[in-house]
Amino acid sequence: MRRFLTDRARRAVAASLRGATRPAAPSPAPAAALSRPSPSAPSAMAAYMARAMSTSAAGTPPVSLDTINPKVLEFKYAVRGEIVTHAQQNLEQELHKNPESLPFDEILYCNIGNPHSLGQQPVTFFREVLSLCDHPALLDKSETHALYSSDAIERAWQILEKIPGRATGAYSHSQGVKGLRDEIAAGIAARDGFHASGDNIFLTDGASPAVHMMMQLLIRSEKDGILCPLPQYPLYSASIALHGGSFVPYFLDEETGWGLEVDELKKQVDEARSKGITVRALVVINPGNPTGQVLAEENQKKIVEFCKNEGLVLLADEVYQENIYVEDKQFHSFKKIARSMGYTDDDLPLVSFQSVSKGYYGECGKRGGYMEVTGFNADVREQIYKVASVNLCSNISGQILSSLIMNPPKVGDESYESFMVERDGIISSLARRAKALEEAFNSLEGITCNKAEGAMYLFPRLHLPQKAIGAAQAAGAAPDAYYALRLLQATGIVVVPGSGFGQAPGTYHFRCTILPQEDKIPAIISRFKEFHEKFMDEFRDVSRDEAPTGATIESGGD
Amino acid sequence: MRRFLTDRARRAVAASLRGATRPAAPSPAPAAALSRPSPSAPSAMAAYMARAMSTSAAGTPPVSLDTINPKVLEFKYAVRGEIVTHAQQNLEQELHKNPESLPFDEILYCNIGNPHSLGQQPVTFFREVLSLCDHPALLDKSETHALYSSDAIERAWQILEKIPGRATGAYSHSQGVKGLRDEIAAGIAARDGFHASGDNIFLTDGASPAVHMMMQLLIRSEKDGILCPLPQYPLYSASIALHGGSFVPYFLDEETGWGLEVDELKKQVDEARSKGITVRALVVINPGNPTGQVLAEENQKKIVEFCKNEGLVLLADEVYQENIYVEDKQFHSFKKIARSMGYTDDDLPLVSFQSVSKGYYGECGKRGGYMEVTGFNADVREQIYKVASVNLCSNISGQILSSLIMNPPKVGDESYESFMVERDGIISSLARRAKALEEAFNSLEGITCNKAEGAMYLFPRLHLPQKAIGAAQAAGAAPDAYYALRLLQATGIVVVPGSGFGQAPGTYHFRCTILPQEDKIPAIISRFKEFHEKFMDEFRDVSRDEAPTGATIESGGD
């Protein structure tokens, strides 16, 4: 077996943390970047000022870091942040040039929910329909029946009939093709048992642009706040920062499996208001990202009630609605919950985000998705439409795929059985992977990990020895970022430090996807374990007397 | 022949302008909306205040027009504005329910550059490749050769080899798939005769998101200004307004075929600076939208020199680079011009926007495009990358299509001849349509129209009788909006009022695409002529003494 942390690799880690491997690097050195725990921290401002001064000294180019929009400069997006950049830009090239120089032979991207990049195969029926809609001339040819299933051909016809002029190359209505929106609405109604309307659907290039649209609509200034979970998917903090609003965090409770408590929401809203913040909306990610919890129905009811009472827009990130891995939990949309409580369109502004990138399909590259917008005045709805219209429309393939995931093959369709085999195979495999990784993490000294009830991630907590925290501080890095970089350098496994998602003060985590193909999981676990044990051996505290205030140095679980 | 303006239709026009047809309409009544000539005009503020007050009176919903981002409320996007909304929401339904009630039997959307929506067929080779990449399993089957050309199959293989894991369903690098970017760069280099690098390409979901990214980067506050042509494509004014910057207009000279004079640029920059505006960038649309002019090489050199001297970023909207209709003009990219002048990457920040939506392909629904970013410091480039990364990546089909348009079939490829027949057929037909419409407009009393040398539009000037201007004012509408609405009500032809693009004070225009299929052009011309002549008869001034200050009431050309 390879040695996981050679002296050479160890030196590379240290050099990388100092930024020394890239003396003329185009990016801020990893250490400097990692040392900024939050966009608004003093160190970020210091770095900003330092850069501004150094740029000025070099002359006055038309555009420099001191003359760009400071909101752009300050926001962070850790999912594609420094750790993954280091993997892509440095280690991949190194592996390519000199495969023997690193203690691993491939990089395993566990940083992002991107299933197809790790070998997940597309669902055949969906791709058949997309392929036919891309080249409708095929539908007139008899040879097509030799290559495509008959229900895919039939579905392609149905979809083309919904598109004016059958023109998949035309801009659609800015909300998306009406017939496809109606089909999605029918799928929502079938899922929830409550009415849904195609007029309320806004098709988008994935869920991210939809989130940006809502932030753009709701945020007027830094006096407008958006309640977001911590830990959170950093799209939210990034979008709020880019639109100039205030991020109002509420903490999920790790002790209760990342529970979302209304008391905590209330406390944070009151505190934000006492600072003069107008809280506009509550973001709930269910199933959770990065935390993987699935909310209970009773909990959801309390959240709806809270939004109603406090006059908040409920922004429900429901992109993992098909990713449920435990028997005792089920996905309920917030709209279903609200309607089941008797609330109508008049009572509560509610936006549900859905994406073709997640679920069992995982079609990230198609950039499809939608938001269902209910409970807004007609005149506000018109403003949302206007924002959508500036980019004209979302891509038609993504629109078609959005309709397919909300209306997959049914019993009796030619593709139904093979479709179900593909679908169930993916979901049950993801459930097994989640369980295997969770158990592995929990078996290790200094790691505790909640179950992934849903979504695509585990978010283990690192109980780091004080010596490791000290080493990170010496390198100018957040402790979990230091750990993640060491992990990468030793094993090629790319995870995202918990500091990229936010976490309770004094706690450290990382997010790891459950997406590597199942046959690779044992090797990943063994590589991970070996690294982690050596890391703990390297840094294990000799005495508890060294513990500083605020740092967690337990040797086992909580 | 049908009567074009029945009493019934006339009453409908008047009612629509009063907003009376939709008493509980979700949108602002057309008259109210049309009466706001610019986002910052006093009337917009008055309307805003009035709405704010009326909303407050009805209670305090969590979100209302008085509590959304005022930048969203104020920006306008006429290409999908009130006229087209009226056509889609009211007239289409009316035609469907009661076809005999309107004096036309179909609505002709000449408001937007959306070729496939008007019957243009996709280019076969491009769609074959997309279809294969959507369903790569086809590539392993022998039957595929009966349905697809051999070079499309070969190209699909080549493209899949460029995509890591051949996973067209995976998020790519946030700038786009590296191999596709390299292919695009090779296409740019072949076009320009100067080096281009895939590292400088950012693939985007059409050109619009790329424009937003640059505005987001450059605009810090309303003290930052962006120089834009007037008339302009309203994406620019909308994006600048949404990002909180100042729109600094420069006027194109209608007398010299929409000439772009550096003296005018200098005047406007100086004036903006005297008001405390930091001018960050110059937007040039070449070929022009909505104006259709193609810049001469000498003119482009002066523009580059101007940007260099004034320290401006040059934002070159070059999405119509394949749409040239006159023998004596040729497209030159601004990067080619700058490099031919000896300017390197160190001298001038320059961004070129390209899209799969325009050209002879016109694939609007695919939402593909790119920007080539040169002349920025590496640290600023990294910030552009970070903004791109928030939406993860653009859709892969759009990325593939972007590579195809920059590397179409070559001599010797199986598809080459049929491809060239399709390509040249579309471009030569567009040239004939542009000419026929221009001649028709110029043949009419009260209309003058510059040639469309390129792009997809004509922008005729209306020399409206004072009585017509008075009638528009009485209806609370801008005169050209009044004309466009009357045209729609009488003929079903949808054009965009010049006020949506900006125009010299006291002048009136409309933008009309050249995209209806060629066999429909004679009928359109005849419907248009009949409407226009009746309109002029209805409003022809009896005496020139009634002319008010600032209004143009000539009866013929300039």
pLDDT tens readout for residues B478-501: 999 999 999 999 999 999 999 989
> Domain spans of chain B?
72-117+419-539, 124-168, 171-406
Q: Which residues contact B554 (CB under 8 A, 6 or more apart)?
A: B446, B463
**Nearest CA to B291 among B465, B481, B502, B81?**
B502
Nearest CA in chain B to A73: B383
A216 to chain B: closest CA residue: B69
For residue A386, the chain B residue with the least C-alpha distance is: B77
| pLDDT of A543 | 57
CB of A84 within 8 Å of any CB in chain B? no
Of B347, B369, B351, nearest to B359 by C-alpha is B369
- What pLDDT, in 10s, does the model give residues B288-328? 999 999 999 999 999 999 999 999 999 999 999 999 999 99
Question: What was the pLDDT predicted at B81?
Answer: 73
CB < 8 Å from B in window 454-513 of A: none
A517/B contact by beta carbon, under 8 A: no
pLDDT tens-place string over residues B250-269: 999 999 999 999 999 999 99
CA A417, distance to chain mean position in Å, is 31
* Angle in degrees, 0-180, between the axes of helices B150-162 and B124-134, rounded to the nearest 10: 50
CA distance B33 to A507: 54
User: What mean pLDDT comes out for the span B363-385?
Assistant: 96
Closest by Cα among A510, A233, A188 to A339? A188
Structure tokens at A193: 């048992």
- Per the DSSP assignment, residues forming a β-bridge with B109 are B494
CB atoms within 10 A of CB B472: 25
Q: Taking the CB of residue A521, how many other CB atoms lie within 10 A of it?
A: 17
> How far are the Cα atoms of B104, B308, B396 from residue B311, in angstroms, in the given order?
53, 5, 35
Q: Determine, for residues B377 and A235 on separate chains, whether the beta-carbon distance falls below 8 Å.
A: no
Helix (H, G, I), strand (E, B) or coil at A205: coil
pLDDT of A449 > 80? The answer is: yes
φ, ψ at B324 (rounded to 5°) = -125, 130
Number of residue pairs across A and B with CB atoms under 8 Å? 302
Query: A350 is written with which tokens?
Result: 């509610």
Whether the predicted pLDDT of B362 surpasses 60: yes
pLDDT of residue B44: 41
Contact A131 B127 (CB under 8 A): no
Asked if B205 is an interface residue toward chain A (Cβ–Cβ < 8 A), one would say: yes
User: What's the average model confidence in pLDDT over A431-443?
Assistant: 97
Domains A124-168 and A171-406 share a fold: no
A-chain residues within 8 Å CB-CB of B206? 391-392
Measure in Å the smallest separation between the Cα of B190 and chain A Cα atoms.
27
Average pLDDT for residues A354-380, to the nearest whole number? Answer: 97
Answer for the pair A296, A284: CB distance below 8 angstroms, yes or no.
Answer: no
Residue A11 corresponds to which tokens in the numbers above? 């030196």
Tokens of B232: 């302009």
Q: Is the pLDDT of residue A26 over 50?
A: no
pLDDT-derived band at B21 (thresholds 50, 70, 90) equals very low
End-to-end alpha carbon distance in chain B: 33
Q: Mean per-residue pLDDT for A208-216? A: 96
Which residues does residue A512 pair with via DSSP β-bridges, in sequence order? A458
Which residues have CB under 8 Å from A352's CB, separation 6+?
A316, A318, A333, A334, A335, A371, A372
Between the alpha carbon of residue B5 and those of residues B90, B288, B466, B529, the distances in Å are 17, 34, 21, 13
Chosen from A92, A395, A496 to mutate, greatest number of chain B CBs within 10 A: A395
Q: How far apart are CA A50 and CA A66, in angstroms?
A: 10
Q: Tell me the range of A79-83, A363-367, B38-42, B539-543 where mean pLDDT is highest.
A: A363-367
Reported as a single tens digit per residue, the pLDDT across A96-107 is 899 899 999 899
Q: Tell the burial category of A197 from Cβ atoms under 10 Å away from its Cβ (0-12, 13-18, 19+).
A: middle
Strands A313-317 and A447-448: unpaired
- The pLDDT tens digits for A49-69 are 344 333 333 357 889 999 999
Alpha helices in B391-455 (DSSP H): 396-405, 416-442
Over residues A410-428, mean pLDDT: 97
- Which of B392, B401, B456 to mutate: most A Cβ within 10 Å? B392
pLDDT band at A141 (very low <50, low <70, confident <90, very high): very high
A239 touching B (Cβ < 8 Å): yes
Per-residue pLDDT at A23:
32
Percentage of chain A modeled with pLDDT above 70: 86
The whole-angstrom separation of Cα B212 and Cα B232 is 16
Q: Is the pLDDT of residue A438 over 50?
A: yes
pLDDT tens track for A234-293: 999 999 999 999 999 999 999 999 999 999 999 999 999 999 999 999 999 999 999 999
Strand ranges, E, within B293-415 = 313-317, 350-355, 369-374
Span A152-202, pLDDT tens digits: 999 999 999 999 989 999 999 999 999 999 999 999 999 999 999 999 999
Minimal C-alpha gap between B170 and chain A (Å): 4
The proportion of chain B whose per-residue pLDDT surpasses 70, expressed as a percent, equals 86
Contact A170 B134 (CB under 8 A): no
- The per-residue pLDDT for A81 is 73
Asked if the model's pLDDT at residue A17 lies above 50, the reply is: no
- Confidence band for B23, pLDDT divided at 50, 70 and 90: very low
Candidates B61, B116, B243; nearest CB to A377:
B61
> pLDDT tens for residues B506-531?
999 999 999 999 999 999 999 999 99
What stretches of A89-206 show up as alpha helix (H) in DSSP?
A: 92-97, 124-134, 144-147, 150-162, 178-192
Taking only residues 126 to 145 of chain A, the set having a beta carbon closer than 8 angstroms to any beta carbon of chain B reads 127-128, 130-132, 134-135, 137-138, 141, 143-144
pLDDT recorded at residue A188: 98
Class of domain B171-406: alpha beta
Contact (CB<8Å) A28/B379: yes
Residues of B in contact with A115 (CB under 8 A): 169-170
DSSP per position, B434-480 = HHHHHHHHHTSTTEE-----BTTEE-PEE---HHHHHHHHHTTS-HH
- Can you give the pLDDT at residue A440? 97
Of B127, B131, B206, the CB nearest to A391: B206
Q: Give the predicted TM-score (pTM) of the model.
A: 0.87
Q: CA-CA distance, B261 to B256, in Å (whole number)?
A: 10
Phi/psi at B350 (5° precision) = -140, 130
| Strand A350-355 with A313-317, pairing | parallel
| DSSP 8-state symbol, A406 | T
Residue B1 amino acid letter:
M
What is the rounded distance in angstroms from the CA atom of residue B491 to the CA atom of residue B530? 9
Helices vs strands, H then E, count in chain A: 21, 14
For B51-71, what is each residue's pLDDT tens digit? 433 333 335 788 999 999 999
B73 CB neighbours in chain A (<8 A) are 383
The per-residue pLDDT for B78 is 66
Q: Is the pLDDT of residue B41 over 70?
A: no
CATH number for B72-117+419-539: choose from 3.90.1150.10, 3.40.50.720, 3.40.50.360, 3.40.50.1860: 3.90.1150.10
Q: For residues A242 and B525, what is the distance between their CA atoms, to the nearest angstrom?
A: 48
With bands split at pLDDT 50, 70 and 90, how would you rate the model's confidence at B25? very low
Is the pLDDT at B36 greater than 50, yes or no?
no
As beta bridge partners, residue B316 has B284, B352
Candidates A530, A528, A492, A481; CA nearest to A101 is A492
Q: Which of A81, A15, A1 is nearest to A489 (CA)?
A: A15
Question: For residue A124, what are its two tokens?
Answer: 């055949």
Each residue of A383-408: pLDDT tens digit?
999 999 988 999 999 999 999 999 99
Sequence letter at residue B522: P
What SS3 class is residue B208?
Answer: helix
pLDDT at residue B125 tops 90: yes
Stated length of chain A = 558
Assess whether pLDDT exceeds 80 at residue B7. Answer: no
Instruction: Return the HEC string of B35-69.
Output: CCCCCCCHHHHHHHHHHHHHHHHCCCCCCCCCCCC
Torsion-angle region of B108 (φ positive above 0: left; ψ -120 to 50: alpha; else: beta): beta
Residue with tokens 């939709």: B22
Q: What is the topology classification, in CATH, of domain B124-168? A: Helix Hairpins (1.10.287)
CB contact under 8 A, A220 and B62: no
- Structure tokens belonging to residue B255: 């007398």
HSE (side-chain half, CA atoms, 13 Å) at B93: 5
pLDDT of amino acid A540? 86
pLDDT surpasses 50 at A365: yes
Average pLDDT, integer, range B340-361: 96
At residue A171, the pLDDT reads 95
Per-residue pLDDT at B37 exceeds 60: no
Query: What end-to-end distance do the CA atoms of chain A give, in Å?
Result: 33
B49 at the A interface (CB within 8 A)? no
| Among B27, B379, B398, beta carbon nearest to A395 | B398
- Two structure tokens written together for A93: 């090239």
Task: State percent of chain A over pLDDT 90.
Answer: 78
Q: Whole-angstrom Cα distance, residue B401 to residue B421?
A: 19
Q: How far is B128 from chain A (nearest CA, A)?
A: 6
- Put simply, the chain B residues between 272 and 301 with a CB less than 8 A from any chain A CB are 280
Is the pLDDT at B12 greater than 90, yes or no? no
Worst-scoring range by mean pLDDT, A37-51, A301-315, B90-104, B131-145?
A37-51
